[in-house]
């Protein structure tokens, strides 16, 4: 677990020489804008208007290079201001940040932040295709697998420029992080093998941004699925899930006469997991209504349960 939101956290495996100009408008008669190049893995790519970045630092040291024109100086990682060509090694470990500040006569000083992320972290690639609609975005870039992996599973918060500004790692499979409040977040944690392809069985955990567990939510009469969790003003939660049903005749659709199927269930549950309301597909949608979806079947064996799911 790492620090909450205040500063930037992460970087992508992208080794480029990035060019950065100070983002403050020049006054009349000031010198030409400064430029800085940083040769490292960085996310996002440098932009004049971005102040937060992240890097990977597998050796614990990265090199920051600066080329300052006249009347411009740069301080890297708290070092004295210097002009001209500057190259400085910065020692930094995962979770730590460093800064550099550009000073220019006629401009305000501009400070930039970069933080080192764990080498094992998988980062999403971001592309801006239009107007950004939110200040932050959650991502869980791991493949949808419920197997344990040595590096664990990351929930990552990206800012509007694609810079990871916070992360949380769990040993157990976890997916679909979302902000629960200004000071808490929640995610789905898998606890059992899924019943069918594209489903999950587990619980929703809510934690503070510093990692302390606030609550664990799951139906008392079953497990939750990652499709999905929505809170209500009444303090309840809507969640979807799946439940197996055996001794079902699937022969009209080319299946066995004694089959197991997986039904959908939507629940409104209270904070203690008890059910306030539920809707089950088997009570409303007969198998005959599968229509064309019944023509393509895939049989999956998970934990000894044979399930037939439409493709």
Tens-place pLDDT, residues 261-301: 888 899 999 999 999 999 999 999 888 887 655 544 444 43
pLDDT one-digit tens code per residue, 160-218? 998 988 999 998 888 899 999 999 999 999 888 877 777 888 999 999 999 999 999 99
Average pLDDT of span 63-72: 84
Top mean-pLDDT range of 224-233, 247-256, 300-309: 224-233
DSSP string, 19-57: EE--SSPPPTT--PPPEEEEEEEEES---TT--EEEEE-
Mean pLDDT of the chain: 79
Q: Where does residue 291 fall: left (phi above 0), alpha (psi -120 to 50 degrees), or beta otherwise? A: left
> What pLDDT was estimated at residue 291?
60
pLDDT of residue 64: 85
Cis peptide bond upstream of 228, omega within 30: yes
Distance CA 204, CA 6 (A): 25
pTM higher than 0.75 for the full model? no
Q: How confident is the model at residue 47 (pLDDT cuts 50, 70, 90)?
A: confident
Condensed to tens digits (0 to 9), the pLDDT of residues 114-160 reads: 989 888 888 888 888 889 899 999 988 776 677 778 888 999 999 99
Q: Are strands 110-117 and 52-56 parallel, antiparallel or unpaired?
A: parallel
Domain parsing of the chain, residue ranges: 15-117, 172-310
Torsion of CA 124, 125, 131, 135, to 10 degrees: 30
Q: Which CATH number applies to 15-117: 2.60.120, 3.30.450, 3.40.30, 2.60.40?
A: 2.60.40
pLDDT for 38: 61
- What's phi and psi for 75, nearest 5 deg? -115, 125
């Amino acid at each position: 677990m790492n620090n909450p939101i205040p500063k930037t956290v992460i970087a992508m495996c992208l080794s480029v020489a990035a060019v950065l100009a100070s983002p403050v408008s020049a006054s009349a008669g000031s010198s030409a804008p400064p430029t800085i190049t940083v040769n490292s893995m960085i996310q996002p790519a440098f932009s004049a208007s971005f102040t937060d970045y992240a890097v990977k630092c597998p050796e614990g040291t990265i090199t920051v290079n600066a080329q300052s024109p006249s009347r411009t100086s740069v301080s890297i990682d708290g070092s004295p201001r210097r002009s001209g060509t500057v190259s400085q090694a910065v020692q930094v470990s995962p979770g730590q940040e460093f800064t550099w500040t550009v000073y220019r006569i006629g401009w305000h000083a501009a400070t930039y932040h970069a933080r080192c992320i764990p080498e094992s972290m998988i980062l999403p690639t971001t592309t801006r295709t239009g107007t950004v609609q939110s200040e932050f975005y959650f991502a869980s870039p791991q493949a949808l697998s419920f197997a344990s992996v040595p590096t664990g599973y990351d929930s990552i918060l990206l800012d509007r420029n694609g810079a990871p500004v916070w992360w949380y790692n769990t040993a157990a499979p976890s997916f679909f992080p979302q902000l629960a409040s200004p000071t808490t977040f929640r995610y789905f944690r898998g606890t059992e093998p899924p019943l069918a392809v594209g489903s999950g069985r587990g619980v929703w955990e809510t934690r503070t941004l510093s990692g302390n567990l606030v609550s664990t939510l799951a139906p008392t009469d079953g497990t939750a699925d990652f499709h999905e969790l929505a809170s209500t003003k009444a303090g309840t939660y809507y969640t979807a899930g799946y439940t197996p049903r055996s001794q079902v005749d699937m022969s009209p659709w080319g299946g066995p006469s004694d089959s197991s199927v997986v039904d959908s269930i939507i629940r409104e549950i209270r904070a203690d997991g008890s059910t306030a309301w539920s809707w089950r597909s088997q009570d409303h949608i007969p198998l005959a209504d599968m229509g064309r979806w019944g023509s393509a079947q895939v049989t999956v064996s998970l934990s000894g349960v044979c399930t037939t799911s439409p493709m």
